[in-house]
Chains A and B, each alone.
Chain A
Amino acid sequence: MKTRIPDQAFNAYVDGRLGVKAERDVMHALEKDPAGAARVAAWRRQSEALRAALSPIADEPLPLSIVLKIRAAVPEGTGNPLVIGVLLGFLAGLVCGFGLNWIVIH
Chain B
Amino acid sequence: MGRHEDTLARRLRRFARALVSDADCADQLVLETLTAAESSCMHVHQLFAILIARRRERETLLPRARAPAAKAPQPDILRAFEALPLIDREALALVVVEQLEYEDAARILDVPLATFIARLTQARATLARLAEGDRQVVLRLVKG
Interface residues of A (CB under 8 A from B): 7-8, 10-12, 14-15, 17, 39, 42-43, 46-47, 49-51, 53-55, 57-60, 62-63, 65-67, 69-75
Contacts and interface: CB of A to CB of B under 8 A. Distances in A.
Nearest to A62: B9
Given A42-B128, A66-B13, A66-B27, A75 B77 contact: no
A54 B97 contact: yes
B27 A43 contact: no
B17 to A, nearest CB: 5
Report the 7 A-B pairs with minimum CB-CB distance, sorted nearest first.
A49-B77, A57-B14, A58-B14, A70-B5, A58-B10, A47-B96, A7-B121
A74 B95 CA distance: 30
B9 A66 contact: yes
Interface of B: 1-2, 5-6, 8-11, 13-14, 17-18, 27, 30-31, 34-35, 37-39, 74-78, 81, 92-93, 95-97, 101-102, 113, 117-118, 120-121, 124, 127-128, 131-132
